[in-house]
Structure 1
Amino acid sequence: MKVLVVEDEADIRNLIKIALESEGYLVNTAVDGIEALKILKEQDFDLAVLDVMMPRLDGFNLLRKIREGSTIPVIFLTARADDMDKVLGLEMGADDYVSKPFSMNELLARVKAQLRRNHDYLASKDDDNNLLQYGDLAINADSCCAYVKNEQIELNAKEYKLLLHLMENPERVFTKKQLYNAVWDDDYYYDDNTIMVHISHLRNKIEIDPQDPEYIKTIRGIGYKLHKTGVHNER
Protein backbone atom coordinates (compact mmCIF):
# COMPACT_ATOMS: atom_id res chain seq x y z
CA MET A 1 0.00 0.00 0.00
CA LYS A 2 1.31 3.47 -0.94
CA VAL A 3 0.61 6.53 1.19
CA LEU A 4 1.33 10.18 0.39
CA VAL A 5 2.03 12.42 3.39
CA VAL A 6 1.78 16.18 2.78
CA GLU A 7 2.97 18.22 5.76
CA ASP A 8 5.09 21.38 5.88
CA GLU A 9 6.52 20.74 9.37
CA ALA A 10 9.56 18.51 8.86
CA ASP A 11 9.49 16.87 12.31
CA ILE A 12 5.84 15.84 12.01
CA ARG A 13 6.30 14.75 8.38
CA ASN A 14 9.26 12.54 9.24
CA LEU A 15 7.58 11.00 12.30
CA ILE A 16 4.52 10.07 10.25
CA LYS A 17 6.71 8.61 7.51
CA ILE A 18 8.69 6.47 9.99
CA ALA A 19 5.50 5.26 11.72
CA LEU A 20 3.80 4.31 8.46
CA GLU A 21 6.89 2.56 7.11
CA SER A 22 7.15 0.57 10.35
CA GLU A 23 3.69 -0.78 9.50
CA GLY A 24 4.84 -1.86 6.04
CA TYR A 25 3.49 1.01 3.96
CA LEU A 26 5.41 2.61 1.11
CA VAL A 27 5.52 6.33 1.87
CA ASN A 28 6.17 9.43 -0.23
CA THR A 29 6.26 12.89 1.33
CA ALA A 30 5.71 16.45 0.15
CA VAL A 31 6.21 19.76 1.93
CA ASP A 32 3.21 21.53 0.38
CA GLY A 33 0.34 21.12 -2.05
CA ILE A 34 2.31 22.17 -5.12
CA GLU A 35 4.93 19.47 -4.58
CA ALA A 36 2.17 16.95 -3.81
CA LEU A 37 0.43 17.64 -7.12
CA LYS A 38 3.65 16.96 -9.02
CA ILE A 39 4.05 13.63 -7.23
CA LEU A 40 0.40 12.68 -7.81
CA LYS A 41 0.81 13.24 -11.55
CA GLU A 42 3.63 10.70 -11.63
CA GLN A 43 2.46 8.07 -9.16
CA ASP A 44 -0.70 6.39 -7.87
CA PHE A 45 -1.45 6.17 -4.16
CA ASP A 46 -3.86 4.21 -1.99
CA LEU A 47 -4.32 7.00 0.59
CA ALA A 48 -3.21 10.57 1.31
CA VAL A 49 -2.62 12.33 4.63
CA LEU A 50 -2.88 16.11 4.18
CA ASP A 51 -2.10 18.97 6.53
CA VAL A 52 -4.68 21.75 6.24
CA MET A 53 -2.46 24.79 6.82
CA MET A 54 0.37 24.77 4.25
CA PRO A 55 2.15 27.44 2.20
CA ARG A 56 1.55 27.93 -1.54
CA LEU A 57 -1.36 25.46 -1.77
CA ASP A 58 -3.28 24.52 1.38
CA GLY A 59 -4.95 21.21 2.18
CA PHE A 60 -8.44 22.30 1.13
CA ASN A 61 -7.33 23.36 -2.35
CA LEU A 62 -5.11 20.31 -2.71
CA LEU A 63 -8.07 18.08 -1.85
CA ARG A 64 -10.17 19.88 -4.47
CA LYS A 65 -7.49 19.10 -7.07
CA ILE A 66 -7.25 15.46 -5.97
CA ARG A 67 -11.01 14.96 -6.18
CA GLU A 68 -11.03 16.13 -9.80
CA GLY A 69 -9.63 12.76 -10.80
CA SER A 70 -9.28 10.45 -7.81
CA THR A 71 -11.40 8.85 -5.08
CA ILE A 72 -8.52 7.68 -2.85
CA PRO A 73 -9.16 8.05 0.88
CA VAL A 74 -7.91 11.36 2.30
CA ILE A 75 -7.24 12.07 5.98
CA PHE A 76 -6.83 15.69 7.08
CA LEU A 77 -4.43 16.82 9.79
CA THR A 78 -5.72 20.03 11.33
CA ALA A 79 -4.50 22.26 14.15
CA ARG A 80 -7.66 24.32 13.97
CA ALA A 81 -10.21 23.93 16.74
CA ASP A 82 -13.06 25.27 14.59
CA ASP A 83 -15.50 22.46 13.76
CA MET A 84 -16.48 24.32 10.60
CA ASP A 85 -13.06 23.51 9.12
CA LYS A 86 -13.66 19.84 9.78
CA VAL A 87 -17.15 20.01 8.30
CA LEU A 88 -15.83 21.86 5.24
CA GLY A 89 -13.14 19.25 4.70
CA LEU A 90 -15.61 16.37 4.92
CA GLU A 91 -18.05 18.10 2.58
CA MET A 92 -15.25 18.65 0.05
CA GLY A 93 -14.49 14.94 -0.01
CA ALA A 94 -12.14 14.20 2.89
CA ASP A 95 -12.78 10.82 4.49
CA ASP A 96 -11.51 11.54 7.99
CA TYR A 97 -9.53 14.06 10.05
CA VAL A 98 -7.13 14.00 12.98
CA SER A 99 -6.67 17.05 15.21
CA LYS A 100 -3.19 18.21 16.20
CA PRO A 101 -1.59 17.35 18.53
CA PHE A 102 -2.44 13.71 17.84
CA SER A 103 -1.41 10.25 18.91
CA MET A 104 0.54 8.37 16.23
CA ASN A 105 -1.36 5.24 17.19
CA GLU A 106 -4.63 7.06 16.48
CA LEU A 107 -3.41 8.17 13.06
CA LEU A 108 -2.23 4.66 12.20
CA ALA A 109 -5.59 3.23 13.27
CA ARG A 110 -7.45 5.72 11.06
CA VAL A 111 -5.16 4.98 8.10
CA LYS A 112 -5.80 1.25 8.48
CA ALA A 113 -9.56 1.81 8.79
CA GLN A 114 -9.75 3.97 5.66
CA LEU A 115 -7.65 1.55 3.62
CA ARG A 116 -9.79 -1.37 4.78
CA ARG A 117 -13.04 0.42 3.87
CA ASN A 118 -11.69 1.42 0.48
CA HIS A 119 -10.48 -2.13 -0.19
CA ASP A 120 -13.90 -3.54 0.73
CA TYR A 121 -15.61 -0.98 -1.51
CA LEU A 122 -13.34 -1.74 -4.48
CA ALA A 123 -13.78 -5.47 -3.91
CA SER A 124 -17.57 -5.09 -4.00
CA LYS A 125 -17.25 -3.15 -7.27
CA ASP A 126 -15.11 -5.89 -8.78
CA ASP A 127 -17.67 -8.51 -7.77
CA ASP A 128 -20.35 -6.62 -9.67
CA ASN A 129 -19.60 -6.89 -13.37
CA ASN A 130 -22.57 -4.71 -14.22
CA LEU A 131 -21.47 -1.65 -12.26
CA LEU A 132 -20.59 1.25 -14.53
CA GLN A 133 -18.75 4.19 -12.99
CA TYR A 134 -17.59 7.59 -14.21
CA GLY A 135 -16.23 10.00 -11.63
CA ASP A 136 -18.80 10.23 -8.83
CA LEU A 137 -21.53 8.76 -11.04
CA ALA A 138 -22.38 5.05 -10.93
CA ILE A 139 -25.04 2.81 -12.44
CA ASN A 140 -25.85 -0.75 -11.44
CA ALA A 141 -27.27 -2.35 -14.57
CA ASP A 142 -28.63 -5.32 -12.60
CA SER A 143 -30.80 -3.23 -10.30
CA CYS A 144 -31.22 -0.27 -12.71
CA CYS A 145 -30.15 2.06 -9.92
CA ALA A 146 -28.08 5.23 -10.32
CA TYR A 147 -25.84 6.84 -7.72
CA VAL A 148 -24.03 10.12 -7.15
CA LYS A 149 -21.23 9.93 -4.56
CA ASN A 150 -22.62 6.55 -3.45
CA GLU A 151 -26.06 8.10 -2.78
CA GLN A 152 -28.90 6.63 -4.82
CA ILE A 153 -30.85 9.11 -6.95
CA GLU A 154 -34.36 8.73 -8.34
CA LEU A 155 -34.56 8.67 -12.14
CA ASN A 156 -37.48 7.89 -14.38
CA ALA A 157 -37.04 5.29 -17.13
CA LYS A 158 -35.98 7.73 -19.84
CA GLU A 159 -33.58 9.62 -17.57
CA TYR A 160 -32.00 6.33 -16.54
CA LYS A 161 -31.60 5.15 -20.14
CA LEU A 162 -30.20 8.53 -21.16
CA LEU A 163 -27.60 8.52 -18.37
CA LEU A 164 -26.73 4.88 -19.07
CA HIS A 165 -26.18 5.59 -22.77
CA LEU A 166 -23.91 8.55 -21.98
CA MET A 167 -21.93 6.59 -19.38
CA GLU A 168 -21.46 3.69 -21.80
CA ASN A 169 -19.98 6.18 -24.28
CA PRO A 170 -18.02 8.79 -22.29
CA GLU A 171 -16.35 11.59 -24.25
CA ARG A 172 -18.43 10.79 -27.34
CA VAL A 173 -20.51 13.63 -28.77
CA PHE A 174 -24.12 12.77 -29.64
CA THR A 175 -26.60 14.83 -31.60
CA LYS A 176 -30.02 15.27 -30.02
CA LYS A 177 -31.50 12.96 -32.63
CA GLN A 178 -28.93 10.25 -31.93
CA LEU A 179 -29.78 10.38 -28.24
CA TYR A 180 -33.48 10.28 -29.03
CA ASN A 181 -33.05 7.22 -31.25
CA ALA A 182 -30.92 5.45 -28.64
CA VAL A 183 -33.24 6.11 -25.70
CA TRP A 184 -36.69 6.25 -27.29
CA ASP A 185 -35.81 3.78 -30.04
CA ASP A 186 -38.12 5.65 -32.38
CA ASP A 187 -37.25 8.53 -34.70
CA TYR A 188 -40.75 8.93 -36.09
CA TYR A 189 -41.87 11.25 -33.29
CA TYR A 190 -38.48 12.91 -32.80
CA ASP A 191 -38.75 16.21 -30.95
CA ASP A 192 -35.68 18.34 -30.29
CA ASN A 193 -37.27 19.81 -27.16
CA THR A 194 -37.82 16.38 -25.61
CA ILE A 195 -34.09 15.75 -25.34
CA MET A 196 -33.43 19.25 -23.98
CA VAL A 197 -36.03 18.79 -21.23
CA HIS A 198 -34.72 15.37 -20.21
CA ILE A 199 -31.12 16.59 -20.18
CA SER A 200 -32.22 19.49 -17.98
CA HIS A 201 -34.01 17.14 -15.56
CA LEU A 202 -31.00 14.81 -15.49
CA ARG A 203 -28.62 17.67 -14.75
CA ASN A 204 -30.82 18.77 -11.86
CA LYS A 205 -30.33 15.34 -10.32
CA ILE A 206 -26.63 14.66 -10.92
CA GLU A 207 -24.94 18.07 -11.11
CA ILE A 208 -23.89 20.26 -8.19
CA ASP A 209 -24.72 23.31 -10.31
CA PRO A 210 -27.01 22.46 -13.26
CA GLN A 211 -26.24 25.87 -14.79
CA ASP A 212 -22.52 25.03 -14.87
CA PRO A 213 -22.53 21.25 -15.33
CA GLU A 214 -19.49 19.15 -14.47
CA TYR A 215 -20.61 16.06 -16.40
CA ILE A 216 -23.13 16.56 -19.19
CA LYS A 217 -21.59 19.12 -21.50
CA THR A 218 -23.44 21.00 -24.23
CA ILE A 219 -21.61 20.98 -27.56
CA ARG A 220 -23.04 24.09 -29.15
CA GLY A 221 -24.74 23.47 -32.47
CA ILE A 222 -24.29 19.69 -32.20
CA GLY A 223 -25.58 18.05 -29.04
CA TYR A 224 -24.17 16.66 -25.79
CA LYS A 225 -21.43 14.51 -24.33
CA LEU A 226 -20.43 13.09 -20.95
CA HIS A 227 -17.11 14.55 -19.88
CA LYS A 228 -15.38 15.53 -16.65
CA THR A 229 -11.82 16.78 -16.56
CA GLY A 230 -9.39 14.26 -15.14
CA VAL A 231 -11.86 11.35 -15.12
CA HIS A 232 -11.58 8.13 -17.06
CA ASN A 233 -14.33 5.59 -17.53
CA GLU A 234 -14.22 2.59 -15.18
CA ARG A 235 -16.03 -0.68 -15.36
Structure 2
Amino acid sequence: MNLQIQTFAPELTATILLVEDDRDIAEMLAETLQQNGYAAATAQSGAEMDRLLRRQSFDLIVLDVMLPGEDGFSICRRLRAEARTPIIMLTAVATDVDRIVGLEFGADDYVTKPFNTRELLARIRSLLRRASYGSERPERAGAMTFAGWRIDPVARTLVDEAGSQVFMTTAEFDLLVALCLNAGRVLTREQLLSLTHAGVAGPVERSVDVHISRIRQKLEPNPKDPSLIKTVRLGGYLFTPMVEPS
Protein backbone atom coordinates (compact mmCIF):
# COMPACT_ATOMS: atom_id res chain seq x y z
CA MET A 1 0.00 0.00 0.00
CA ASN A 2 1.48 3.34 -1.05
CA LEU A 3 2.01 6.12 1.45
CA GLN A 4 -0.14 9.13 0.60
CA ILE A 5 1.33 12.55 1.25
CA GLN A 6 -0.71 15.70 0.83
CA THR A 7 1.18 18.96 1.23
CA PHE A 8 -0.44 22.32 0.79
CA ALA A 9 0.46 26.00 0.63
CA PRO A 10 4.02 27.04 1.62
CA GLU A 11 2.90 29.57 4.23
CA LEU A 12 1.41 26.88 6.51
CA THR A 13 2.34 27.14 10.17
CA ALA A 14 2.28 23.45 11.08
CA THR A 15 2.40 20.01 9.50
CA ILE A 16 0.13 17.31 10.88
CA LEU A 17 0.38 13.55 10.45
CA LEU A 18 -2.93 11.65 10.25
CA VAL A 19 -2.55 7.94 11.08
CA GLU A 20 -5.96 6.58 10.05
CA ASP A 21 -6.82 3.44 8.08
CA ASP A 22 -10.27 4.68 7.00
CA ARG A 23 -9.56 6.47 3.70
CA ASP A 24 -12.77 8.51 3.83
CA ILE A 25 -12.01 9.87 7.29
CA ALA A 26 -8.36 10.52 6.39
CA GLU A 27 -9.29 12.39 3.21
CA MET A 28 -11.97 14.41 5.01
CA LEU A 29 -9.55 15.41 7.79
CA ALA A 30 -6.79 16.26 5.31
CA GLU A 31 -9.18 18.48 3.35
CA THR A 32 -10.37 20.17 6.55
CA LEU A 33 -6.78 20.84 7.61
CA GLN A 34 -6.04 22.28 4.16
CA GLN A 35 -8.99 24.62 4.41
CA ASN A 36 -7.72 25.82 7.79
CA GLY A 37 -4.15 26.53 6.77
CA TYR A 38 -2.25 23.37 7.69
CA ALA A 39 -0.15 20.84 5.80
CA ALA A 40 -1.05 17.18 6.22
CA ALA A 41 0.34 13.74 5.54
CA THR A 42 -1.61 10.51 5.90
CA ALA A 43 -0.60 6.97 6.79
CA GLN A 44 -2.85 3.94 7.13
CA SER A 45 -0.73 1.89 9.54
CA GLY A 46 2.09 2.11 12.03
CA ALA A 47 4.54 0.82 9.43
CA GLU A 48 3.58 3.54 6.94
CA MET A 49 3.82 6.10 9.72
CA ASP A 50 7.34 4.95 10.57
CA ARG A 51 8.48 5.29 6.96
CA LEU A 52 7.08 8.80 6.81
CA LEU A 53 8.62 9.84 10.13
CA ARG A 54 12.04 8.79 8.82
CA ARG A 55 11.59 11.29 5.99
CA GLN A 56 10.26 14.33 7.83
CA SER A 57 9.19 15.69 11.19
CA PHE A 58 5.70 16.74 12.24
CA ASP A 59 4.25 19.28 14.64
CA LEU A 60 1.34 17.08 15.74
CA ILE A 61 0.06 13.53 15.19
CA VAL A 62 -3.61 12.48 15.02
CA LEU A 63 -3.56 8.75 15.78
CA ASP A 64 -6.42 6.27 15.38
CA VAL A 65 -6.64 3.49 17.98
CA MET A 66 -7.93 0.73 15.72
CA LEU A 67 -5.32 0.16 13.02
CA PRO A 68 -4.23 -2.90 11.04
CA GLY A 69 -1.24 -4.58 12.65
CA GLU A 70 0.11 -2.51 15.53
CA ASP A 71 -2.70 -0.69 17.36
CA GLY A 72 -2.77 2.97 18.27
CA PHE A 73 -2.04 2.42 21.97
CA SER A 74 1.18 0.56 21.17
CA ILE A 75 2.16 3.16 18.58
CA CYS A 76 1.49 5.99 21.05
CA ARG A 77 3.65 4.40 23.72
CA ARG A 78 6.45 3.84 21.20
CA LEU A 79 6.27 7.40 19.88
CA ARG A 80 6.22 8.86 23.36
CA ALA A 81 9.40 7.00 24.31
CA GLU A 82 11.22 8.80 21.50
CA ALA A 83 9.72 12.29 21.24
CA ARG A 84 7.28 14.75 22.76
CA THR A 85 5.35 15.56 19.58
CA PRO A 86 1.72 16.28 20.63
CA ILE A 87 -0.58 13.31 20.01
CA ILE A 88 -4.38 13.30 19.69
CA MET A 89 -5.92 9.83 19.70
CA LEU A 90 -9.10 8.94 17.80
CA THR A 91 -11.31 6.06 18.87
CA ALA A 92 -14.72 4.59 18.21
CA VAL A 93 -14.87 3.33 21.82
CA ALA A 94 -16.09 5.94 24.29
CA THR A 95 -15.19 4.35 27.63
CA ASP A 96 -13.27 6.02 30.45
CA VAL A 97 -10.91 3.03 30.54
CA ASP A 98 -9.83 3.58 26.93
CA ARG A 99 -9.40 7.31 27.48
CA ILE A 100 -7.25 6.73 30.54
CA VAL A 101 -5.17 4.04 28.83
CA GLY A 102 -4.49 6.42 25.95
CA LEU A 103 -3.52 9.24 28.29
CA GLU A 104 -1.31 6.97 30.37
CA PHE A 105 0.49 5.85 27.24
CA GLY A 106 1.35 9.50 26.59
CA ALA A 107 -1.45 10.92 24.44
CA ASP A 108 -2.13 14.61 25.01
CA ASP A 109 -5.80 14.47 24.04
CA TYR A 110 -8.51 11.99 23.11
CA VAL A 111 -11.40 12.38 20.65
CA THR A 112 -14.26 9.90 20.19
CA LYS A 113 -15.73 9.00 16.80
CA PRO A 114 -17.98 10.28 15.38
CA PHE A 115 -16.52 13.69 16.13
CA ASN A 116 -17.24 17.28 15.22
CA THR A 117 -14.45 18.51 12.94
CA ARG A 118 -14.63 21.99 14.46
CA GLU A 119 -14.01 20.53 17.91
CA LEU A 120 -11.08 18.50 16.62
CA LEU A 121 -9.64 21.63 15.00
CA ALA A 122 -9.99 23.51 18.29
CA ARG A 123 -8.07 20.78 20.07
CA ILE A 124 -5.39 20.75 17.37
CA ARG A 125 -4.98 24.52 17.61
CA SER A 126 -4.80 24.32 21.39
CA LEU A 127 -2.07 21.67 21.37
CA LEU A 128 -0.09 23.48 18.68
CA ARG A 129 -0.32 26.72 20.62
CA ARG A 130 0.78 25.01 23.82
CA ALA A 131 3.66 23.32 22.01
CA SER A 132 4.70 26.72 20.58
CA TYR A 133 3.99 25.87 16.94
CA GLY A 134 0.88 27.98 16.51
CA SER A 135 0.86 31.62 15.52
CA GLU A 136 -0.73 32.73 18.82
CA ARG A 137 2.03 32.40 21.38
CA PRO A 138 1.28 32.98 25.06
CA GLU A 139 3.52 35.13 27.20
CA ARG A 140 6.60 33.20 28.25
CA ALA A 141 7.59 32.65 31.85
CA GLY A 142 11.28 32.50 32.70
CA ALA A 143 13.07 29.43 34.02
CA MET A 144 12.16 28.45 37.59
CA THR A 145 13.57 26.22 40.32
CA PHE A 146 11.76 24.25 43.01
CA ALA A 147 12.83 21.49 45.42
CA GLY A 148 16.05 20.86 43.49
CA TRP A 149 14.33 20.86 40.08
CA ARG A 150 14.69 23.38 37.25
CA ILE A 151 11.93 23.95 34.69
CA ASP A 152 12.32 26.14 31.61
CA PRO A 153 9.01 27.00 29.87
CA VAL A 154 10.81 28.47 26.84
CA ALA A 155 13.15 25.53 26.20
CA ARG A 156 10.42 23.21 27.53
CA THR A 157 12.87 21.25 29.66
CA LEU A 158 12.70 19.80 33.16
CA VAL A 159 16.02 18.97 34.84
CA ASP A 160 16.54 17.17 38.15
CA GLU A 161 19.05 17.94 40.87
CA ALA A 162 21.68 15.77 39.21
CA GLY A 163 21.35 17.71 35.96
CA SER A 164 19.51 14.98 34.07
CA GLN A 165 16.63 15.99 31.81
CA VAL A 166 13.32 14.29 32.55
CA PHE A 167 10.97 13.63 29.65
CA MET A 168 7.41 14.95 29.89
CA THR A 169 4.48 14.97 27.48
CA THR A 170 3.09 18.31 26.30
CA ALA A 171 0.14 18.07 28.69
CA GLU A 172 2.29 17.08 31.67
CA PHE A 173 4.74 19.90 31.06
CA ASP A 174 2.02 22.54 30.70
CA LEU A 175 0.28 21.36 33.87
CA LEU A 176 3.55 21.53 35.81
CA VAL A 177 4.26 25.05 34.52
CA ALA A 178 0.75 26.13 35.59
CA LEU A 179 1.32 24.65 39.05
CA CYS A 180 4.72 26.37 39.37
CA LEU A 181 3.25 29.74 38.37
CA ASN A 182 0.53 29.28 41.00
CA ALA A 183 2.56 27.70 43.81
CA GLY A 184 0.83 27.85 47.18
CA ARG A 185 -2.59 28.31 45.56
CA VAL A 186 -5.24 25.63 45.21
CA LEU A 187 -6.18 25.14 41.55
CA THR A 188 -9.35 23.33 40.55
CA ARG A 189 -9.37 20.90 37.65
CA GLU A 190 -11.37 23.42 35.64
CA GLN A 191 -8.75 26.11 36.31
CA LEU A 192 -5.94 23.77 35.29
CA LEU A 193 -7.73 22.93 32.05
CA SER A 194 -8.29 26.62 31.38
CA LEU A 195 -4.66 27.52 32.13
CA THR A 196 -3.26 24.79 29.91
CA HIS A 197 -5.75 24.96 27.05
CA ALA A 198 -6.09 28.75 26.76
CA GLY A 199 -9.84 28.52 27.21
CA VAL A 200 -10.60 26.22 24.25
CA ALA A 201 -11.75 22.63 24.16
CA GLY A 202 -9.49 20.16 25.92
CA PRO A 203 -9.42 16.65 27.34
CA VAL A 204 -12.07 15.35 29.68
CA GLU A 205 -11.68 16.70 33.20
CA ARG A 206 -10.63 13.32 34.52
CA SER A 207 -7.54 13.47 32.31
CA VAL A 208 -6.12 16.09 34.68
CA ASP A 209 -5.98 13.41 37.40
CA VAL A 210 -4.20 11.02 35.04
CA HIS A 211 -1.59 13.61 34.06
CA ILE A 212 -1.07 14.70 37.68
CA SER A 213 -0.47 11.05 38.60
CA ARG A 214 2.15 10.76 35.84
CA ILE A 215 3.84 13.99 36.98
CA ARG A 216 3.98 12.66 40.54
CA GLN A 217 5.66 9.48 39.30
CA LYS A 218 8.43 11.64 37.86
CA LEU A 219 8.77 14.25 40.62
CA GLU A 220 7.75 12.83 43.97
CA PRO A 221 10.14 10.91 46.26
CA ASN A 222 7.12 8.78 47.19
CA PRO A 223 4.31 9.10 44.60
CA LYS A 224 1.93 7.17 46.87
CA ASP A 225 2.36 9.84 49.56
CA PRO A 226 2.96 13.00 47.49
CA SER A 227 4.53 16.00 49.16
CA LEU A 228 5.03 18.34 46.18
CA ILE A 229 1.58 18.15 44.57
CA LYS A 230 -1.11 17.79 47.22
CA THR A 231 -4.69 16.79 46.48
CA VAL A 232 -7.17 19.11 48.18
CA ARG A 233 -10.47 17.35 48.87
CA LEU A 234 -13.33 19.00 46.97
CA GLY A 235 -10.82 21.59 45.80
CA GLY A 236 -8.19 20.48 43.33
CA TYR A 237 -4.41 20.48 43.57
CA LEU A 238 -1.88 22.48 45.57
CA PHE A 239 1.77 22.87 44.56
CA THR A 240 3.67 23.15 47.84
CA PRO A 241 7.37 23.90 47.02
CA MET A 242 8.88 27.35 47.04
CA VAL A 243 9.28 28.38 43.39
CA GLU A 244 12.02 30.88 42.53
CA PRO A 245 13.32 32.44 39.29
CA SER A 246 16.35 30.60 37.96
Using structure 1 for the length normalisation, give the TM-score. Answer: 0.55
- 1:30 partner amino acid: A
Alpha carbons 1:37, 1:62 under 8 Å: kept: no
From 11, 29, 47, the equivalent of 1:16 is 29
- 2:126 partner amino acid: A
1:33 has 2:28 as partner:
no
Instruction: Give RMSD over aligned pairs.
Output: 3.2
1:146 has 2:146 as partner:
no
Match of 1:4 in 2: 17
Match of 2:55 in 1: 42
What SS class does the counterpart of residue 67 from structure 1 fall into?
helix
From 84, 91, 116, the equivalent of 2:97 is 84
Computing the radius of gyration from Cα coordinates, the structure with the larger value is: 1
> For residues 113 and 207 of structure 1, what CA distance do their matches in structure 2 show?
26
Match of 1:108 in 2: 121
Alpha carbons 1:77, 1:99 under 8 Å: kept: yes
Higher helix fraction (1 or 2): 1
Q: Please report how far the alpha carbon of residue 77 of structure 1 lies from its aligned counterpart in structure 2 after TM superposition.
A: 0.5
What SS class does the counterpart of residue 119 from structure 1 fall into?
coil
Give unmatched runs, 5+ long, in structure 1: 132-139, 151-159, 168-204, 209-235
**Which aligned pairs between 1:98-137 and structure 2 lie closer than 5 A?**
98-119=111-132, 128=142
Q: Please report how far the alpha carbon of residue 71 of structure 1 lies from its aligned counterpart in structure 2 after TM superposition.
A: 0.7
> For residues 7 and 116 of structure 1, what CA distance do their matches in structure 2 show?
23
> For residues 99 and 68 of structure 1, what CA distance do their matches in structure 2 show?
24
Cα distance change on mapping 1:26 and 1:80 into 2, 3 Å: same
Deviations 1:13-57 (A, max 9, x none): 000000011111110110011111221122111100000000111
Cα distance change on mapping 1:144 and 1:43 into 2, 3 Å: farther
- 1:86 partner amino acid: R
- 1:43 partner amino acid: Q
Match of 1:53 in 2: 66
> For residues 147 and 15 of structure 1, what CA distance do their matches in structure 2 show?
43
1:64 has 2:64 as partner:
no
Using structure 2 for the length normalisation, give the TM-score. Answer: 0.53
Percent identity, aligned pairs only, is 39
Q: Please report how far the alpha carbon of residue 126 of structure 1 lies from its aligned counterpart in structure 2 after TM superposition.
A: 8.1
Deviations 1:107-152 (A, max 9, x none): 111111111111189x789874xx6xxxxxxxx5x6674279x9xx
Deviations 1:167-213 (A, max 9, x none): 5xxxxxxxxxxxxxxxxxxxxxxxxxxxxxxxxxxxxx7599xxxxx
- Please identify runs of 4+ aligned residues in structure 1 that moved more than 3 A: 123-128, 142-145, 205-208
What SS class does the counterpart of residue 42 from structure 1 fall into?
coil
> For residues 16 and 145 of structure 1, what CA distance do their matches in structure 2 show?
44
Cα distance change on mapping 1:32 and 1:147 into 2, 3 Å: farther
- 1:47 partner amino acid: L
Match of 2:229 in 1: none
Provide the aligned length of Structure 1 versus Structure 2. Answer: 149
